[in-house]
Amino acid sequence: MKQFRSIKGTHDILPKDSYKWHLLESIVHEVCTKFGYQEIRTPIFEESNLFTRSVGEESDIVTKEMYSWKDKDNTVLTLRPELTASVVRAYNQHNLGSLAPIQRYYYIGPLFRRERPQKGRQRQFHQFGIEAFGSKFAEQEAEIIAIAWHILSKCELNEKISLQLNSIGTSKCRSVYREALKNFLAPYLTELSEASKKRFNSNPLRILDTKNEKERSLLKNGPKISDYYSKDDQDHLDEVKDYLSAMDIPFIINPNLVRGLDYYTKTVFEITSNELGSQDALLGGGRYDNLVENLGGRPTPGIGFAAGIERFLLLIDEKKLKLNQPNPDIYFICLEKTGLSISLNISNKLRLKGYKIISDPLRRSMKAQMRDANKSGAKYVLILGEKELQENTIIFKNLENSHQKNIEQKKIIKFFDNLTN
Ligand code: AMP
């Protein structure tokens, strides 16, 4: 019979790894909650136009990476390739801005992009992220970058990463700069890579993103967007820099950072790590002051970031992740069928007290169960055999120091109460 396999670029998260995800997810829940952010969960698929309108018709995501299909009622749907658009859609649909002038959300979930799979790049991947609506001021940038920074600290990653910051100004600044950049590049057009040639017409700012060394050195002599900032653009960026410095968050200004999505204005940032290889971006975000309005809502400034969970897990120290391994506290070995009611009863009572307990449902031998207990990483073993059943006792064994003793069955819960106290 044909055995099925997962689709290219998608991965099963097996129990040998899922506990690592729990660690990162619990850090995200904890830190976001500390900053007053609340979780939002939106559907996995949306109307395609939502992404075309927000991410941009010319973006890589829309031109080549979306998983889209026509539904039976002819609506074109898409598996979400990013989450900001969905969160903004929900914000508008539920009129969330009317609840309070500032709305702070975070999310965790899967995304889908039909990219060429490689290390750190999948077709189904997962992100956690933040969206904050309502403030146009630089302290909002400071707050969300601080959240990223706190999560990185909890993961012990601050030493492995670099925070890059830039401003791409407002759309007025960008359109003047776009022309200046095109004028500068025009004489070299034939020498540019195919990708950059295409971008020259569709989205010239993205040429700044190039990894091509020749193009990079050419751009060093090109115009800088900072020369086209309005006073407000410059003041805003200066404030962001001041607040980051006040929080001791190190950053570098990268004038070539533009990010691939259309909806950004002013601040953009990215956190990268050279330990990730070619897919070195760990997290990216920026301000999107026009997106809520462009998607049919009231004019509302917004800002957010998204971080790749798989890439975080590639970077977090394996030892730190291992600490979160869910080893049982107790392995309950019951050797007699007539003892099962007792062992099930005691196990449940101990679970209610907070102990993690596993037992063997295969009625295997003492030797096999003991081997399993050692492998499980349990701290203690309880053994209920024929002799113990007759004497109404249970053997308690500490696997860490091999001490063992007999305990009366009716005193076993109390025994464990005292063990923790
Ligand atoms: P983006 O939405 O493209 O700004 O991506 C934000 C973050 O999501 C990146 O910095 C990566 O960590 C992660 N990411 C983006 N695309 C992928 C992918 N195809 N596979 C795995 N992680 C990804």
The predicted structure's pLDDT at residue 209: 82
Residue 44 lies in a domain: yes
The predicted structure's pLDDT at residue 281: 94
The predicted structure's pLDDT at residue 160: 93
Whether residues 149 and 240 share a domain: the answer is: yes
* Confidence band, pLDDT 50/70/90 cuts, at residue 55: confident
pLDDT in tens, 56-82: 887 888 889 999 999 999 999 999 999
Closest to 239 in 3D by CA, of 139, 162, 148, 165? 139
**Domain boundary residue, one of 283, 318, 353:** 318
Whether residues 195 and 124 share a domain: the answer is: no
Q: Is the pLDDT of residue 409 over 80?
A: yes
Mean pLDDT of 166-185: 92
Q: Give the CATH number for residue 50.
A: 3.30.930.10
The predicted structure's pLDDT at residue 198: 87
What's the gap in Å between 81 CA and the centre of ligand 1? 10
Sheet holding 68-70, edge to edge: 45-47, 76-79, 68-70
* Confidence band, pLDDT 50/70/90 cuts, at residue 201: confident
What's the gap in Å between 330 CA and the centre of ligand 1? 40
Whether residues 366 and 346 share a domain: the answer is: yes
Residue 284 CB less than 6 A away from ligand 1 = yes
The percentage of the chain sitting over the pLDDT mark of 70, rounded to a whole number, equals 99
* Confidence band, pLDDT 50/70/90 cuts, at residue 137: very high
Whether residues 288 and 161 share a domain: the answer is: yes
Mean pLDDT, rounded, of the chain: 95
pLDDT in tens, 242-258: 999 999 999 999 988 98
What is the per-residue DSSP string for 269-281?
EEEE-GGGTTS-E
Residue 9 lies in a domain: no
**Domain boundary residue, one of 222, 257, 283:** 222
**Domain boundary residue, one of 185, 200, 222:** 222
Residue 311 CB less than 6 A away from ligand 1 = yes
Residue 310 CB less than 6 A away from ligand 1 = yes
The predicted structure's pLDDT at residue 421: 56
The predicted structure's pLDDT at residue 206: 87
Q: Is the pLDDT of residue 321 over 60?
A: yes
Atom of ligand 1 nearest to the CA of 113: 19
Mean pLDDT of 276-303: 95
* Confidence band, pLDDT 50/70/90 cuts, at residue 408: very high
What's the gap in Å between 26 CA and the centre of ligand 1? 20
Question: Atom 13 of ligand 1 has which residue's CA nearest to it?
Answer: 308
Residue 2 lies in a domain: no
Whether residues 190 and 280 share a domain: the answer is: no
Whether residues 159 and 98 share a domain: the answer is: yes
Whether residues 150 and 99 share a domain: the answer is: yes
Handedness of CA 59, 63, 67, 71 (dihedral sign): positive
Closest to 79 in 3D by CA, of 52, 121, 124, 46? 46
Cα–Cα distance for residue pair 269/287, rounded to 1 Å: 9
Residue 7 lies in a domain: no
Read off the amino acid at residue 340. Answer: L
Mean pLDDT of 316-320: 92
Residue 306 CB less than 6 A away from ligand 1 = yes
Q: Is the pLDDT of residue 262 over 80?
A: no
Mean pLDDT of 269-284: 94
Residue 412 lies in a domain: yes
The predicted structure's pLDDT at residue 258: 86
Closest to 269 in 3D by CA, of 289, 250, 290, 254? 254
Mean pLDDT of 205-211: 87
Instruction: Please name the residue ranges forming H helices in 56-170.
Output: 60, 84-93, 138-154
Whether residues 63 and 157 share a domain: the answer is: yes
Mean pLDDT of 274-299: 95
Q: Is the pLDDT of residue 107 over 80?
A: yes
Whether residues 123 and 207 share a domain: the answer is: no
Closest to 161 in 3D by CA, of 256, 252, 247? 252
Read off the amino acid at residue 71. Answer: D
Q: Which of 310, 313, 314, 316 has most ligand 1 atoms within 8 Å of CB, for mutation?
A: 310
Domain that holds residue 185: 175-222
Residue 247 lies in a domain: yes
* Confidence band, pLDDT 50/70/90 cuts, at residue 323: confident
Question: Atom 12 of ligand 1 has which residue's CA nearest to it?
Answer: 308
Atom of ligand 1 nearest to the CA of 270: 10
| Of 44-58, 130-144, 266-280, highest mean pLDDT | 130-144
Closest to 177 in 3D by CA, of 215, 217, 226? 226
Question: Atom 11 of ligand 1 has which residue's CA nearest to it?
Answer: 308
The predicted structure's pLDDT at residue 270: 97
Place of tokens 């101990």: 350
Contact between 160 and 275 under an 8 Å Cβ cutoff? The reply is: yes
Q: Is the pLDDT of residue 24 over 80?
A: yes
The predicted structure's pLDDT at residue 203: 85
Q: Give the CATH number for residue 361.
A: 3.40.50.800
Whether residues 296 and 360 share a domain: the answer is: no
Residue 1 lies in a domain: no
Residue 283 CB less than 6 A away from ligand 1 = yes
Number of domains into which the chain is organized:
3
Whether residues 205 and 157 share a domain: the answer is: no
Question: Atom 18 of ligand 1 has which residue's CA nearest to it?
Answer: 121
Question: Atom 21 of ligand 1 has which residue's CA nearest to it?
Answer: 121
Residue 153 lies in a domain: yes
What's the gap in Å between 182 CA and the centre of ligand 1? 28
Whether residues 158 and 187 share a domain: the answer is: no
Contact between 349 and 409 under an 8 Å Cβ cutoff? The reply is: no
pLDDT in tens, 350-371: 999 999 999 999 999 999 999 9
Question: Atom 8 of ligand 1 has which residue's CA nearest to it?
Answer: 308
The predicted structure's pLDDT at residue 379: 96
Q: Is the pLDDT of residue 420 over 80?
A: no
Q: Which of 279, 305, 315 has most ligand 1 atoms within 8 Å of CB, for mutation?
A: 279
